[in-house]
Structure 1
Amino acid sequence: MNKFKNIGIVFLAMMGLLSSSCSNDFLDEEQVSKYPTSYFDTAQGLTDLTESLYGNIRWHFGYEWAYGINLYGTDEFTNANDLTNEMWNTYGSSLGPLGATKSTGAANDNATSPAALWDEMYYGIASANMIIAKAPTVITDVKVRNRCLAHAYFLRGYNYYRLTAQYGGVVLQTVPIIETVVRNFTRSSEEDCWKQVISDLRNAYGLFEGEVFTYGKGITWTKATAAHFLAKALLFRSSERNNAWNSAYKTDDYKEAVDACSYAISSRGALTPNYSDLYANWTGIDCPNEQLNEILMAAGFNGDAVAEGRYGNQTYNYFAPQFSSFAGGWVARGIWIGSMDFQRCRPTEYSYGVFDHVNDARMWKTFKTVYGVNTVKTPNPNAVKLGDPGIVMILNDKNDNTYNGFTFGCFSQNPTWKDNAGRLPEWSIAGRQKATSGSLTSKVGQFVPNASVLYQNGVYVAPTFKNQNVCNFFAGINKTDDGSRNAEKGNAHRDVIMARLGETYLLRAECYVRLGQFGDAMNDINVVRSRAQWKSGENRSYYNDGSQAFEKNPLNTGAAATNYINSNLNMNTYYLSNPGVAVTTAASDLTLKSFPANLPAEDEAVIAKVGASSDMERALNFILNERTRELLGEWDRWETLSRTGTLIKRAKAFNPEAKFITENKHELRPIPQTFIDGVLNKDGSNLSTAQKAAWQNPGY
């Protein structure tokens, strides 16, 4: 068990008292009187405070803000029927400085306020400031001192990265605030903020001792972690959002970012050979796949309640459809299914269509398309049995005509599912999917209670399935599924990956593109795409996810064990979704042969829709597409699109629900009004209305 995962956030909570934030939301995190401030005048106190920095990053995955801040309102995800954070997706009026509450138009009080990230990041910054200020004189052991400083510079740089990426220019507080209240803050420019981020990450990069895992192999921050985020910060500073002032930085930033990426790649070795090992093959708490060399940074969780913090890991809630409520109720939810059906993040048409459905294994190792019957309903004229396929999601493409004319839906609507000519759909008359076969059912006439399809007659029909205005029936992703939970709504225990080499290769490829080195960029892209290919001997119809951790769960007994077996059938709809493909275990080929000309058809379709024409635009949009295929749901899509100046165009093109997104406004988040209202002039007077307006981002 990794040591740091058991460290509570006592120190972070205490340092919150010293924070520059005006909010008190997190001051009750733990007992804050356990340690006096004098404890941090000792080497042990600063070492303990350094270890506690890991607790600050757990916050990102503890509640609704995980997806609202990072995934909503982009080209990849939109909202389903649950409207908790709808405003983050639609850019409605309740996404504003006053916060998202029922009084400002939010659906409920669980909605994420724009102040959430602001408050929490400054807590971590306060702790880092204390270490940076005191370690040079308090810690005499050079190695220990450098480790503490490396961690503090890294977290401060990371937290300011997140703040600047979301809000633009923010308050730069780089010295501790002790035994006083400061309220006459100055908002720094975005340029100065990126200078601070890059300086901190450079310091961390220089101070880390290579790939020395101070608190546990494979999970803690190292020189490669700092290198990865240094590259991201350099790339952000010199990307399109900052074109008004960044021209003097660009070439040097790109070259330094390439060098930083190259260190991370060379120091950690090759990518994990099987994409499934990163997410799908999660077998339980602290399993070996959480220690893969590809993982550069993760928020650590485990089964110890002390490690959960205030919220714990709630990410398993947000990516599944509402499978338990589909008419007929054939699939009951529970701890035996690794996700909850809170239907927050519904993939867009783009997120399905950007994949090569036949040759890209990532699609079928990421999307969950089959649920088994774990509850037989009555009446049951079709003799559905426990363990039969209960929910089937066919991810066909726009040119597929196989399912034209069929009525898809649920048992109570259409128990025979015949087309206008009285024919049963193909999936009803095939043989049951076995370990090496591609069909889905075991006998002629086998009935599946619920099924959906993406396209009929070339029309994307998935969003209006069952005549819903917003569909709650979709194929969600499995990257957070966790069968180790000790209750249906209990906290997840798996780590959340925050950085890995798959992204590092794509960052370096983007830098090469911006330097005009398209051949080098293609080489890096092909490293990522080669891993994504089907390997010889792979069963393309096999599927698994983190539900399998239930096999080691002490609750895996009796009815729960039966429900686990019946619910998780380890199959997908690959062959139903690609009806012209014969069953095969041959390898596929995804490698590019030219770049950025003659791209795959799925990429050319996206590029045409967004109107990209120059080599640079084509290459950049291809990399954004590849980031979707490689990193779908991995918590940084909004920042990536905002950075590259593509947020408005791609959200409008691919997310119909993002209907209020506005240029020159929504590329940044609103500064929390509660903070602005608390700022004073140097003479102690309140800010004027004009001064408050000057603090706020444009359009808010």
Structure 2
Amino acid sequence: MKNINNKILSGILVASMTLGTTSCGDDFLKENANHTTTDALLETGSGALAMAAGLYGNLRWHFGYEWAYAITLYGCDEFSMGSDETSLGWMDYNTAELNPAGSSRRNHPSPADLWNELYYGIASCNLLLKKAPLITSEQDRNSAMGEAYFLRGYNYYRLFCQYERCPLQLEPIDVSAGVPRNFKLASGEEVLNQVISDLESAYNLLRTDDWRGAGTWTKYTAAHFLAKALLYRQSERCTWKDKYPAKADLDRAIKLCDEVIDARGIENDYNNLYANWTGVDCAIEKSKEILMSALHNDASTTAGRYGNRTYNYFSSQFNTYSGGFVPRGQYIGEMDFQRCRPTEYTYAVFDNVNDSRLWKTFKTVYGICNNVAVPDYVNAENAPKLGDQGILFLLNKKSDTRFHKEEFGRAGVEHTFVNPETGKWVPNVAPIYADGEYVMNTYGTTAPNRANMYCAINKTADGSRTGEKGDAHRDITMARVGETYLVKAECQVRNGDDNGALATINRLRKRAEWKENEDREYYVDGTIAFKSNSTASGTTVKKNTDADGTKMTNMKAFEYSFIQKNSYVLSTGVECPESGWDASDLQIAGWDRLPAEDQAVLDAMGLSSSSLEGKINFILNERTRELLGEWNRWDELSRTKTLYKRAKLFNPETLYIQAYHNLRPIPQSFLDGLTNDSGKPLTDEEKKAMQNEGY
């Protein structure tokens, strides 16, 4: 990865990220290998639109490797880590570990990665904005410029969220005259105001329809992020917010949110956001709720360095602890890299009876897909077979008195649990709570702070992979209307409209309610895409065997392992009535009657639900339930200055976190390459003056 000093100014770098065609439809990301970038090309509508299509590629790097979760999810309240410490510095805030040069951990992300890649995209936008006014066609000109303004605004938004201060480079630089190195850091206020300006321009120029196909940046994409930027300007981290009339910013943000909500809407079923993913470019990727995504498919341009590797990061280490009952392979939609382990807070903040999002987000059952001898201590009549439950997680509550810790465990440790629903011993089984204590983190092979056995989320599962460690092919949602509701609700709270905010939240929670006669035990995730996988007839990588010792095909392993039933009844103790399930109710009657799960969080934080801080933290809880694992938690906690408090309370792995960690360090590689205006390298004192506090 090149130094930022080359990336920040080199507009010609757009050539290497341009992806080609200008046609509408889902194939606009297909690469045209003969495409080249010249000034002449930029002076035609088709050429400029091709270059604008190339801007979408700048989003893919976010999800290629470890920085996907390290920068966005680690070190917050929702996730800790398993026993793999690849990105430890991002979790525990050990400053020495944050420096890859000082870390012995392979693949540990650098604080400079985000900075470098965002400026790469900004340079591309600057070149396009310089040349696009020459385009004759007004529609083509507006479309190309709108996309360039949007990406530049989004990239500066991320830079502001993470670092606050950064150089504002708004023009392409003629590198033939040499690469300048005397950059100055703009203030946070200046950066955020530039974000708002760019997103305003994008909002005015972008089309309202998905004219490029699924994933098109539209007027509503810009409106969503413009609303977020205006809300940010009125949030706790902006110490200069009093310069800007709060009501004006918040009223505008609310109006923008309403425009997005009215035009795009939300899915009726939460499963249609992630779980019902059936393969490349399937129906749910075209959902109107999706406002922005990192686009992937089965083309070579979305593989390797720019491939989707997110399926690695949420599952527990089932291949290791399962005792051979559940080996990994492409027939299971995820890999067991055990990076993101939910905290107790994350499990506990859901209403496990009435909130369908819990059961449509977490994978609680894996089937036995390898013939393994059952321990002698298990009674023959209770011995499980292929296709029975091999891993089972119980998402119960702390008040649940039915379970005792010694009943449960992993395959290598003697335990007695027989599922009363099936009469079968389960080789690997764990509840969240037993005897009133949090125990989910005690059944792994290591100490509780490095447990490798836990219940994980399913939003990145991808059964289309053609290799055990191959690239995934699904798009990655980066913004959707479900979040727009929560942005609006927070603006309403800050604007003094408490009743309006609660009504907005209740409309979103309505989607999360179980529908009448909906099967609460039904489960699906993106593993289902394996039904049409080209490797189905091949032998499993781990040489799984059938009951007669025959090596198993991937399809047979899939059929055994993918059990489309969750642990709802056993976890909650709520049986299905003979007349069928009733609809559930998640509506909140008032701020003084918040759900018990939320009141417990506010009590732990010492907050009243009637205070502004209490209401904002309730909305942060709702963001967990609605947006868990969707790549923006660190930014949101930093924005509200709740990062330190919530991480200390709810994530014991944030060992070294301090208040100043509310900002990331300015990359040292950038500072080391700077000069003053006379061309001399900066002194250590000058570099320190440019660095964020505490680093």
Q: Same fold (TM over 0.5)?
A: yes
Q: 1:648 to 1:537 in 2, by over 3 A?
A: same
- 1:497 pairs with 2:492: no
Residue in 1 aligned with 2:187? Answer: 189
Amino acid at match of 2:87: N
Q: Which moved more, 1:77-86 or 1:371-380?
A: 371-380
Q: Secondary structure at the match of 1:240?
A: coil
CA distance in 2, matches of 1:412, 1:309: 36
Residue in 2 aligned with 1:679? Answer: 674
Which one of the candidate residues 99, 102, 105 is aligned to 2:103? 105
Which one of the candidate residues 489, 513, 517 is aligned to 1:509? 489
Q: Which moved more, 1:613-622 or 1:486-495?
A: 613-622
Displacement of 1:72 in angstroms is 0.4
Contact 1:93 1:105 in 2 (8 A): no
Q: Secondary structure at the match of 1:543?
A: coil
Residue in 2 aligned with 1:85? Answer: 87
CA distance in 1, matches of 2:170, 2:274: 37
Displacement of 1:33 in angstroms is 11
User: How many residue pairs were aligned?
Assistant: 655
Contact 1:482 1:494 in 2 (8 A): yes
Amino acid at match of 2:211: T
Residue in 2 aligned with 1:591? Answer: 587
The equivalences for 1:225-264 within 5 A come to 225-264=221-260
Q: Secondary structure at the match of 1:296?
A: strand
Which one of the candidate residues 502, 513, 528 is aligned to 1:522? 502
Residue in 1 aligned with 2:66? Answer: 64
Displacement of 1:369 in angstroms is 0.7
Q: 1:27 to 1:505 in 2, by over 3 A?
A: same
Residue in 1 aligned with 2:536? Answer: 556
- 1:407 pairs with 2:407: yes
Q: Which moved more, 1:576-585 or 1:358-367?
A: 576-585
Amino acid at match of 1:647: L
Amino acid at match of 1:221: W
Q: Secondary structure at the match of 2:407?
A: coil
Amino acid at match of 2:200: R
Contact 1:238 1:247 in 2 (8 A): no
Contact 2:5 2:179 in 1 (8 A): no
Amino acid at match of 2:568: Y
Q: 1:39 to 1:25 in 2, by over 3 A?
A: closer
Residue in 1 aligned with 2:119? Answer: 122
Residue in 2 aligned with 1:449? Answer: 427
Residue in 2 aligned with 1:460? Answer: 438
Residue in 2 aligned with 1:132? Answer: 129
The equivalences for 1:206-217 within 5 A come to 206-209=204-207, 211-216=208-213
The equivalences for 1:619-698 within 5 A come to 619-663=615-659, 665-698=660-693
Task: Show CA shifts across 1:125-171 (max 9, x none).
Answer: 011111111211x2011111011110000000000001110001111
Contact 1:15 1:126 in 2 (8 A): no
Residue in 2 aligned with 1:388? Answer: 388
Q: 1:347 to 1:23 in 2, by over 3 A?
A: farther
Q: Secondary structure at the match of 2:391?
A: strand
CA distance in 1, matches of 2:431, 2:136: 65
Displacement of 1:93 in angstroms is 2.3
- 1:576 pairs with 2:570: yes
Contact 2:405 2:439 in 1 (8 A): no
Contact 1:77 1:346 in 2 (8 A): yes
Residue in 1 aligned with 2:219? Answer: 223
Displacement of 1:353 in angstroms is 0.2
Q: Secondary structure at the match of 2:306?
A: coil
Q: 1:166 to 1:454 in 2, by over 3 A?
A: same
Q: Secondary structure at the match of 1:563?
A: helix
CA distance in 1, matches of 2:237, 2:5: 34
Residue in 2 aligned with 1:531? Answer: 511
Residue in 2 aligned with 1:5? Answer: none
Q: Secondary structure at the match of 2:293?
A: strand
CA distance in 2, matches of 1:646, 1:361: 27
Task: Show CA shifts across 1:282-328 (max 9, x none).
Answer: 01100011111111111110111123362300000000000111152
Task: Show CA shifts across 1:101-148 (max 9, x none).
Answer: 2x413422x011000000000011011111111211x20111110111
Task: Show CA shifts across 1:392-421 (max 9, x none).
Answer: 11111111111125331133321xx34xxx
CA distance in 2, matches of 1:338, 1:429: 25
Which one of the candidate residues 363, 367, 382 is aligned to 1:372? 367
CA distance in 1, matches of 2:629, 2:3: 31
The equivalences for 1:293-308 within 5 A come to 293-308=288-303
CA distance in 1, matches of 2:212, 2:304: 19
Residue in 1 aligned with 2:544? Answer: none
Residue in 1 aligned with 2:542? Answer: none
Which one of the candidate residues 55, 62, 80 is aligned to 1:53? 55
Q: 1:411 to 1:78 in 2, by over 3 A?
A: closer
CA distance in 1, matches of 2:457, 2:444: 21
Which one of the candidate residues 274, 279, 288 is aligned to 2:269? 274
Contact 1:85 1:106 in 2 (8 A): no
Amino acid at match of 2:531: E
Q: 1:28 to 1:464 in 2, by over 3 A?
A: farther
Contact 1:18 1:176 in 2 (8 A): no
Which one of the candidate residues 566, 574, 599 is aligned to 1:604? 599
Q: 1:335 to 1:24 in 2, by over 3 A?
A: farther
CA distance in 2, matches of 1:450, 1:23: 54
Residue in 1 aligned with 2:152? Answer: 156
Amino acid at match of 1:285: V
Task: Show CA shifts across 1:79-105 (max 9, x none).
Answer: 110000011111112354xx3x2x413
CA distance in 2, matches of 1:219, 1:669: 30
Q: 1:645 to 1:429 in 2, by over 3 A?
A: closer
CA distance in 1, matches of 2:217, 2:403: 50
Residue in 1 aligned with 2:462? Answer: 482
Amino acid at match of 2:430: S
CA distance in 2, matches of 1:139, 1:193: 29
Amino acid at match of 1:452: A
Q: Which moved more, 1:230-239 or 1:197-206?
A: 230-239
Contact 1:321 1:341 in 2 (8 A): yes
CA distance in 2, matches of 1:370, 1:276: 17
CA distance in 1, matches of 2:49, 2:251: 35
Residue in 2 aligned with 1:284? Answer: 279
- 1:341 pairs with 2:341: no
CA distance in 2, matches of 1:511, 1:153: 25
Amino acid at match of 1:317: N
CA distance in 2, matches of 1:287, 1:626: 28
Contact 1:372 1:388 in 2 (8 A): yes
CA distance in 2, matches of 1:24, 1:224: 30
Amino acid at match of 2:201: N
Task: Compute the TM-score of the two structures, normalised by the length of structure 2.
Answer: 0.90
Identity %: 47
Q: 1:404 to 1:14 in 2, by over 3 A?
A: closer
Contact 1:392 1:451 in 2 (8 A): yes
CA distance in 1, matches of 2:261, 2:653: 38
Amino acid at match of 2:8: S
Displacement of 1:557 in angstroms is 2.2
Unaligned stretches of 5+ residues in structure 2: 19-32, 539-552
CA distance in 2, matches of 1:75, 1:106: 26
CA distance in 2, matches of 1:129, 1:467: 51
Displacement of 1:245 in angstroms is 4.6
Displacement of 1:379 in angstroms is 5.4
